[in-house]
A and B are shown apart, each in its own frame.
Chain A
C-alpha cells in the first residue's frame, strides 16, 4: 500500500510537471508557471484522495535528491557567461545588493504596518534567499525556521509569477537584468523561470541567488534589527 502511494505521488508529480511545462512553453504566460500550476493540482489531488503530507514525504525525498547536483550544474551557464560577469561586475553586485536590502526593508516595514508579531517579522526577514540559508538566518535571529521555509517557498512562487510580469511591464528586457532580479528575489524558483527565458538569464539567476545568500547571511544580524520594534 505504502509503495502504491509512493508510486502514485511520484508519477502524479512528474505527470503534472510535464503537462504544465508544455502549457507554459506554449503560452509563455507567467500565471501559467509550471511550479504554481502543478502545486495547485497536486495539493488538490492529495486533499481529494486523503493522502497526507507525511505520506507524500518519501516521494518528495526521492524527487528532490537531484536538486543539489542541479544547483552545481548552474556553474556551467555561469562559466559560459563569465565574460558578462567580468565586464559588468559592478552593476551585477550593486543590483543584487540593492535588491536584497530593499526587499528585506519592504517586507519588514509592511509587516510592521500590518501589526505582525516580532517572531513572525524575524521569520519573514530572510524569505528571499535559498531555503537552507534562510532557515539558518531565521534560527540565529530568533525567528521560526518552519515558518521561514514556508515564506521562502511562497516568495519563490510569487516572484516567479509576478517578477516576469513586472519586468516586462517596466520594459526591463535585458536578460542580465531579468535573471539577476528573479534570482535575487526568488532564489532557485526565480532562477528556474530565468532558465526558461534563456541561458544568460538563467546563469544570472544562479549568480544572484549565490550573492544574495551570502550577502543576506552576512548582514542579517545587523540589518534586521533596524526595522524591528
Chain B
C-alpha cells in the first residue's frame, strides 16, 4: 500500500515538473530566448521555489526520483554515437585527443579556480 502511494506521489509530482518544463519551453518560444526549454524550465522552477509559490514538499518525491536516475537519460542519447562509426574510423583518434585535451583544460580551470576562490571567500 505504501509503495503504491509512493508511486502515485512520484507520478503526479513528475507530471507537475513536466508542466513547468512545458511552460519553460513555451516562454522560450514566445520570447525568442537563447535558452533550451529545459534550462528555462529549471530557472522558472527555481523562481517558483524561491518566491514560496511552490513548497519543496510539493515536488521532492518526483524530483528525487528523476535526479537519482538522471544518468539514465543519457544512455539512449549516447547510443546515437553509433551513427558516427565511419568518421570515428577515419579521424576518431585525432578528435578524441582534441576532446580529451579541451575537457581536461576546462575541468582544471573551473575546478582549481573555484576551489581556490571558494576557500578564500569562506574564510
A interface residue numbers (CB < 8 A to B): 13-14, 16-17, 21, 34-36, 38-39, 42-43, 46-47, 53, 56, 59-60, 63-64, 66-80, 82, 87-88, 90-92, 94-96, 98-100, 102-107, 110-111, 114, 116, 124, 127-128, 130-133, 136, 147, 149-151, 153-159, 162-163, 166-167, 170, 172, 174, 176-178, 180-182, 184-186, 188-189, 191-193, 195-196, 202, 206, 208-210, 213-214, 217-218
Contact assessment for B66 and A217 in the assembled complex, using a CB-CB cutoff below 8 Å: no
CA distance A17 to B72 in the complex (A): 6
Give every chain B residue within 8 A of A167 (Cβ-Cβ): 107, 111
List residues of B whose CB falls within 8 A of some A CB.
Answer: 14, 17-18, 20-22, 24-25, 34-39, 41-46, 48-50, 56, 59-60, 62-64, 66-84, 87, 94-115, 117-122
CB-CB under 8 A for A107 and B102, given A74-B42, A217-B34 = yes
Contact, CB under 8 Å: A39 / B103: no
Q: Which DSSP category, helix, strand, loop or mixed, fits chain B's interface? A: helix
Which among B14, B114, B115, B121 has the highest number of chain A CB atoms within 10 Å? B114
Q: Are A91 and B114 in contact (CB under 8 A)?
A: yes
10 interchain residue pairs of minimum CB distance? A103-B106, A99-B110, A91-B117, A75-B45, A132-B36, A107-B102, A73-B63, A95-B114, A181-B111, A71-B38
A62 and B82 alpha carbons, distance in the complex (Å): 19
A170-B103 in contact given A63-B76, A111-B98 (Cβ < 8 Å): no
- Rounded to whole Å, the gap between the CB of B43 and the closest CB of chain A is 7
Could you say which of B46, B49, B72, B103 contacts A103, with CB atoms under 8 Å apart? B103
Q: How far is the CA of A132 from the CA of B20 in the complex (A)?
A: 18
Q: Could you name 11 residue pairs across A and B whose Cβ atoms are closer than 8 Å? A: A39-B78, A42-B79, A60-B79, A63-B73, A66-B73, A76-B60, A91-B118, A156-B74, A181-B108, A181-B110, A181-B114
A68:B110 contact, CB within 8 angstroms:
no
CA distance A202 to B34 in the complex (A): 24
Residues of A within 8 Å of B22, CB to CB, are: 68
Contact A133 B35 (CB under 8 A): yes
Beta-carbon contact of A154 and B99 below 8 Å = yes
Output the residue of B62, B72, B100 with the most chain A CB within 10 A: B72
Task: Check A88/B99 contact, CB under 8 A, given A46-B82, A69-B21, A79-B56.
Answer: no
Are B34 and A218 interface neighbours, CB within 8 A? yes
Give Cα A177–Cα B121 distance, bound, in whole angstroms: 13
Q: How far is the CB of A77 from chain B (nearest CB, A)?
A: 7
- Neighbouring A residues of B60 by C-beta, 8 Å: 76
